Amino acid sequence: MRVATGAGETKPLVFEAGAASVVVDISAGIPRILHWGRPAVASESDGSFLLSLAESQSGADGLHGCTSPSVLPEQSAGWMGTPGLEGHRDGTTFSSRFVATGCEVTGEAGGVQTLVANAVDEEAELALTTTLSFSTSGLLRLGASITNAGTRSQYTVDAMRLALPVPAEAQELLDFAGRHLRERTPQRQPFLVGTHLREGRRGRTGSDATVLLIAGTPGFAFRSGEVWSVHTAWSGNHATFAELGLTGARLLGGGELLLPGEVILAPGETYTTPWLYAAYGEGLDSVASTFHQHLRSRSHHPSSPRPVVLNTWEAVYFEQDLQSLTELAELGAKVGTERFVLDDGWFLHRRNDKAGLGDWQVDPDVWPHGLGPLVEAIREMGMEFGLWFEPEMVNEDSDIARAHPDWILGPGVRLPIRGRHQQVLNLTLPEAFSYVLESMSSLIATHRIEYIKWDHNRDLVEAGDRNTGAPRVHAQTLAVYALMDELRRRHPALEIESCSSGGGRIDLEVLQRTDRVWASDCIDALERQQIQRWTGLLLPPELVGSHVGAPTAHTTHRTHSLAFRAATALFGHFGIEWDLRTASVAELEELAAWVCVYKEERALIHTGTAVHSDYPDNAYWAHGYVSQRGDRAIFAFVALHTSVAAQPGRVRIPGLQPDASYRIEPIEISASALARTASGPPSWWTEPTTATGRMLAVVGLQAPMLYPEQALLIRFVMASTPENVALSTCQRPSEAIEDRN
């Protein structure tokens, strides 16, 4: 369907998919959202009624003729909050008033539908294009482009933000704080008058960035309450905000945060905002499902089973040699590893993190015959080979920095303060861009590398062109995207992992170019339970790397059982980051059994619907994945710490087919995590048990008593399905690991 409409069109456009609806007024200069939430418009008169509700009332000191704000709010329409566009021509033409020139709608109901609306401000000599798309999952995406339509002077864009209205029922806000090793920590607060602004000025998404900013009805949870959410898809400086104006209008919005002078448009030039993604749902699980469905529908979404990864970082750090890594790989192959990733330390002068960064040539002192012998050995073991890079960074103690000091980002002559002993390479310089591209591309081609871990370990502080003094965060972000795009063009089978001090670059724009994110440098299973829980609001598990680390976590010094570490890693893209040479034969056998469980269940986890039980005792979490057909599910019941209650109660298991019966199948690979009790475990743990999906969702399953920092896995298999015998193949197979003594 392709429909073109003229200026002044009064009939609102209605988009619906699933449980969400968006009604758009295109009669004004910039589209206005009249309704975003449950489907509401049943007739043409309903649309006219919604239009009448957009008329603003005001008190004695109010402005006349105000309207509800558009997706790019303008002060000329009476909006006194955060403006959608801030810019000027040498200090003049500071305010806009856009008039519609027409729009076009493409797509069919039930498919992706897109509205492209055009407007001009003839006095300001500006042209605006606003794009709104609504997907089959119910995901709303907004973007806008501003063009300098004048012929005589430049136009400076200081800020451009898009916004969506939410109703008065949205009384509470949820967003996320964080730091290195503790990303995505939830925080709630009332939706009060004023602006709740989350700015990222780190030149990357940031470990403190909020993956979603959510407004909802009071007390909303995973399975209850109406929720509205937005995500700013940009990997550089950015802003996401919630605003309640004095008129009562509530907005959620976001955009790029521009440094002074970063975007100056010559006549005919255009600036395009990042995409603002938005999802509505009943409960947080519904919002997560909307994002997951959208990501899984992409043509470039990973389609092959996500391979078991063995990453060398916490196993060997910088202590690399062919013999040690071959021994590690052999043990990895025995437990079922499918991809071996050589992390930091393989290139020139890189014996620690103080030197060598940027010298992307294999170090002959460590690898006298190059990486070839290791790569060949890995492939002979049946594994893919991956390699670590940090393409945007440079140590001052490196050959490349000594040869090209002007390639380092800085405010001028002086250098910024260091982060992790490193500086940032100015990829906006064609010669620096070309150097990194050719260095990486040559290695990828020579060794037929299937996978790269793309790291980014410092903030962009005072990030400017040292030759001109101009800020470069905006241009650097675009250059990084271009570098990834070109590498993928040259090497179409290449997969890229986004890592940035762990989870510091997780956003939907970098995920247009990457196949996995590293959620955190912390692989302590207790910390990872929270990090992965909240990362999962935005990303499905197949995109989130999750590894089994050493028994005692390197980042927290907590010690956890292998069962807890593996059961945590299972609900992501599973990997191992443990020096397996230090593991006992029994530990290797147990790990092999967990790898077997992952391989058996990854098709379900990586295509299923995420569900969470809103269990009232925060000492326990219950979460899992239900297959698309509803015939299978896998759940984890997790004890985070001790509870004031003497024993846990019943845990509701949502998401199953109400009228179907399910066999309840505990998965017990390791020594039992069940607490010793006088009465023993619940009967469903020891005896064959079936229950209907309705019974499990409404009444629940009696939770077993667990020791703290333990997890139990439970399968639910539709009773009409043949008996599941696959579990027996994952019971710590002693023949899988040979005694190395």
- Comparing CA positions, the residue from 553, 546, 604, 555 lying closest to residue 575 is 546
Q: How far apart are CA 668 and CA 397, in angstroms?
A: 51
Catalytic residue among 521, 524, 579, 631: 521
CB proximity list for 480: less than 8 A, separation 6 or greater: 235, 391, 392, 427
CB 388 within 8 A of CB 341: yes
Return the H-helix or E-strand segment holding 601: helix 585-605
- Comparing CA positions, the residue from 574, 694, 541 lying closest to residue 630 is 694
Catalytic residue among 455, 459, 507, 614: 455
- Comparing CA positions, the residue from 469, 361, 466 lying closest to residue 408 is 466
Q: How far apart are CA 145 and CA 131, in angstroms?
A: 9
Alpha-carbon 299 to chain mean position? 18
614 is catalytic: no
Q: Which two tokens stand for residue 243?
A: 């605003």
- Comparing CA positions, the residue from 453, 386, 447, 398 lying closest to residue 425 is 398
CB proximity list for 222: less than 8 A, separation 6 or greater: 283, 284, 285, 611, 612, 613, 614
Q: How far apart are CA 461 and CA 630, in angstroms?
A: 49
Q: Which two tokens stand for residue 93?
A: 């033409």
Is residue 563 exposed (0-12), middle (13-18) or buried (19+ Cβ within 10 Å)?
A: buried
Block residue for tokens 């989870």: 503
Write down how long the chain is.
Answer: 741
CA 649 to each of CA 511, 620, 677, 717: distance values in angstroms, whole numbers, following the listed order: 40, 10, 15, 23
Alpha-carbon 244 to chain mean position? 27
- Comparing CA positions, the residue from 367, 413, 740, 392 lying closest to residue 588 is 740
What residues are paired with 127 via a beta bridge? 120, 147
CB proximity list for 172: less than 8 A, separation 6 or greater: 188, 189, 190, 191, 215, 216, 217, 218, 219, 220
Tell me, letter by letter, the H, E, C secondary structure of 314-346.
HHHCCCCCHHHHHHHHHHHHHHCCCEEEECCCC
* 667-671 contacts, C-beta under 8 A, 24 or more apart: 667/597, 667/634, 667/712, 667/713, 667/714, 667/715, 667/727, 668/712, 669/563, 669/566, 669/590, 669/593, 669/594, 669/597, 669/730, 669/731, 669/732, 670/561, 670/562, 670/563, 670/566, 670/590, 671/561, 671/563
455 is catalytic: yes
Which positions are catalytic? 455, 521
